[in-house]
Amino acid sequence: MNFWQGLLEALQSLSSNKLRSALTILGIVIGVGAVIAMLAIGRGAQDTITGSISGIGTNLLFVVPGGSEEVSNPKPLTLTDAEALRDSFVAPSVTGVAPIITGNVELSFAGESLFTQGYGVTPDYMPVRNVEMLEGEFIGEVHILGRAAVVVLGPDAAEELFGRSEGVIGETVRIGGQPFRVLGVMVPRGGSGFSNPDELIMIPLSTAQTRLFSRSRDSVDMIMVQAISAEGVSRATEEVASLLRTRHRTAIGEDDFTIFTQQDFLQTATTITNVLTIFLGGIAAISLLVGGIGIMNIMLVSVTERTREIGLRKAVGARKRDIMLQFLTESSLLSLMGGLIGIALGWGLSTLVGVIATSQDVELLPNMGLDAILLATIFSTAVGLFFGLYPAKRAADLEPVEALRYE
């Protein structure tokens, strides 16, 4: 018996028990659909996260206090450290430096309130972070010198307080109970949840130090450094580290500061999303195992029901491999059909999740790759072969005389 003849007979056998065949492949359908949906959603989440990180800028360094635990009496980062990094002779690969202090604040206006994160910044933050204004102006040097009570709002913060993101210049909001005049509103950058940059607010660093965050006059929470180019990030990192070691009088390996690059964030985010995707895909793959056991169960029942047929085939000259091929073809066909339907189900589930995410203003576009489809198809067929092997062997090992006598 050749392959095509076995395939035709398998189709005839399965079509004679349509309901049983449909229920048998249901486990494979659910398993393949769940695996593909989880992989697509995981990849979509990874694309969204890495895209958001890339949007920060490919040539930025983030210098934060804290480093080796062996350092005693670590020094904080200061405004004078930031000023020293602007020296083009000491750090020629650095083109911009923006010291920052941060803290959680409560904004209120006309009965509306919002808890968000506030940044105390200098005018240098605007070019370093590529901030664009939707309306109004950004914080200037005059606001720093005068410790002005002004604030620049993210568009989402403006929407929550005023119900609009335009026409709010000159309005007075309260931050921590103190009045601040709205100086401008930033252009939306995209984001959601705890990392939503559109909910941030910016105030003059000097004002934040003295009126909101209770910092010493010189210390800062972070220094954002802009390298001359993406290729110059490594050189800029070395220059910044060398300068800060000299200023803080620390040896190599005993830094009291840490420098992060965008690549560090990308690698961390990619690792986390990959682990979550594999974890969720593994859980979903358990249903494939359940579906495979279902196929084995049904094939064993089929062998029992068709014992006399098997005996008759062997009596007229069918070989063991012909019988095995027939039953393996049936089990593989069941699994393959389940895999194909499961691919459609996975696509539908991932699309539905994308629609729901969009309706909730969450940037998540599931990405169903060709490799995931091929993997699911091959794996589902392999499940059918594996779980169909024992029933096929059992059928092939039946003795013709005993099979014909079976009632």
Per-residue pLDDT tens digits for 90-137 = 888 888 899 999 988 888 888 888 888 899 999 999 988 888 898 999
Are β-strands 60-65 and 257-261 bridged in parallel, bridged antiparallel, or unpaired?
A: antiparallel
Q: Which range marks the domain in which residue 281 is found? A: 3-53+267-405
Of 377, 54, 67, the closest CA to residue 252 belongs to: 67
369 and 222 share one domain: no
Alpha-carbon gap, residue 208 to 202, rounded angstroms:
9
pLDDT digits (tens, 9 = 90+) for 67-90: 655 555 667 888 888 888 888 888
Q: How far apart are CA 67 and CA 221, in angstroms?
A: 14
* Kind of pairing between the strands at 150-153 and 178-186: parallel
Residue 337 has pLDDT above 60, yes or no: yes
In a domain, 49, yes or no: yes
Q: Which residue has the higher pLDDT, 163 or 283?
A: 163
Q: Are 368 and 231 part of one and the same domain?
A: no
pLDDT value, residue 203: 93
Does residue 62 belong to any structural domain of this protein? Answer: no
Q: Looking at 255, 286, 307, which one is the last position of a domain? A: 255
Percent of the chain with pLDDT strictly greater than 90:
11
Final residue belonging to a domain, choices 197, 221, 255: 255
Candidate ranges 153-157, 259-263, 365-369; pick with highest mean pLDDT: 153-157
Does residue 204 share a domain with residue 350?
Answer: no
Identify whether residues 324 and 401 lie together within a single domain: yes
Q: Which residue has the higher pLDDT, 178 or 318?
A: 178
> Would residue 87 count as lying in a domain?
yes
Residues 221 and 328 in one domain: no
Backbone angles phi, psi at 219, to 5 degrees: -80, 150
| β-strand partners of 99 | 223
Q: Residue 37: is its pLDDT beyond 90?
A: no
Residue 138's pLDDT is 93
Give the model's confidence band at 142: pLDDT under 50 very low, under 70 low, under 90 confident, else very high. very high
Instruction: Tell me, yes or no, whether 46 and 120 share the same domain.
Output: no
Per-residue model confidence (pLDDT) at position 120: 92
- Give the DSSP H/E element, type plus range, for residue 284: helix 262-305
- The pLDDT score that the predictor gives to residue 193 is 44
Residues 84 and 189 in one domain: yes
172 and 282 inside one domain: no
Domain end position, chosen among 196, 229, 255: 255
Q: Is residue 100 part of a domain?
A: yes
Quote the pTM value.
0.59
Cβ-proximal residues to 209 (8 Å cutoff; 6+ apart), any chain: 101, 120, 215, 216, 217
Tell me whether residue 390 is in a domain. yes
Instruction: Give CA angle at 198 (366, 165), nearest 5°.
Output: 115
The answer to whether residues 119 and 243 belong to one domain is yes
185 in a structural domain: yes
Instruction: Assess whether 107 and 20 both reside in one domain.
Output: no
CA–CA separation, 136 and 183 (whole Å): 6
| Structural domain includes residue 124 | yes
Q: Are 158 and 231 part of one and the same domain?
A: yes
Is 260 among the domain residues? no
Mean pLDDT of 294-318: 71
As a whole number of angstroms, the distance between CA 178 and CA 96 comes to 32
Provide the domain count of the chain: 2
- Angle, helices 262-305 vs 370-396, to 10°: value is 30
The owner of tokens 């800060």 is 244
Mean pLDDT of 154-179: 88
Same domain assignment for residues 102 and 236: yes
The answer to whether 162 and 109 have CB atoms below 8 angstroms apart is yes
